[in-house]
Amino acid sequence: MRVAAGQFVVTPEWCKNAQLCVELMRRAAEEGASLLVLPEALLARHDNDPDMSVNSAQPLTGGFLSALSAESRRNALTTVLTLHVPTTDGRAANTLVVLRGGEVIAQYRKLHLYDAFSVQESRRVDAGDRLPPLVEVDGMLVGLMTCYDLRFPEMALALALQGAEVLVLPTAWLRGPLKEHHWASLLAARALDTTCYIVAAGECGNKNIGQSRIIDPLGVTLAGAGSLPQLIFSDISKTCLQEVRAQLPVLRNRRFAPPQIM
């Protein structure tokens, strides 16, 4: 299966961001990808307005997702991204959606809100309360995660124990001391913890690092982006994953009870 991760600089204008997503979807489909992962919080962003993503929140029936759904109907691509969806007055849920055939086939509200490194996502965002469903893409089971979820190994492990073979991760990973090191280390660690492939897409710009990655079940980077807009591809294999799990059966060798998430 061919997979892709796309990164770009999210602008303050949702219409422009939707068009950038549509273009990445079109290019990924033309290159034969079955799965495309886009970054986190794609509606709107401004370096000097940390609340713009929440203030720009739209329902799943809004103009942003309608534009992406129209493109989704033109191909067989499965596309994963997150946007903010209104909840109560002045608040929103950071919502991952999976698009295929013009429809939202799965959704997930971010469980772990980024209340760290002097940022408090929970000030305006409501956390989810349950693990996401698995989604099948070309015969492989895909587990859904969002950004800060990466720092919680029990979530990735819970998805793998339910059958996930690929983990997808839309992100907006903030720059900062050692943050790039954390990003690379955590991606490799979660791949090794779970013996899953990981497809991670990062928003790029002045505040976020970009550095989208496709990682194999042994923690090796198959494809990687830098800090500029880019679309990366790699082929992944269920046969290869099964061979890794036969050689490194960490999911079978566990001696502790499965982690309880929500």
Contact 165, 238 (CB under 8 A): yes
Residue at token pair 């989704």:
72
- With residue 69 as reference, give the H or E element that holds it: helix 63-72
Which of 21, 40, 165, 196 is an active site residue?
A: 40
Contact 32, 14 (CB under 8 A): no
- Taking phi over 0 as left and psi of -120 to 50 as alpha, with beta for the rest, 102 belongs to left
- Is the C-alpha dihedral spanning 206, 25, 214, 253 positive or negative? positive
- Report helix, strand or coil for 163: coil
Which of 110, 121, 196, 203 is an active site residue?
A: 110
* Encoded tokens for 44: 């709107």
* Encoded tokens for 186: 């955590």
Q: How far apart are CA 65 and CA 58, in angstroms?
A: 9
- With residue 17 as reference, give the H or E element that holds it: helix 14-30
Residue at token pair 């000097």:
48
Concerning whether 238 is annotated as a catalytic residue, the answer is no
Concerning whether 30 is annotated as a catalytic residue, the answer is no
Closest CA to 68 of 25, 37, 109: 25
Which of 21, 147, 196, 204 is an active site residue?
A: 147
Concerning whether 40 is annotated as a catalytic residue, the answer is yes
Catalytic (active-site) positions:
40, 110, 147
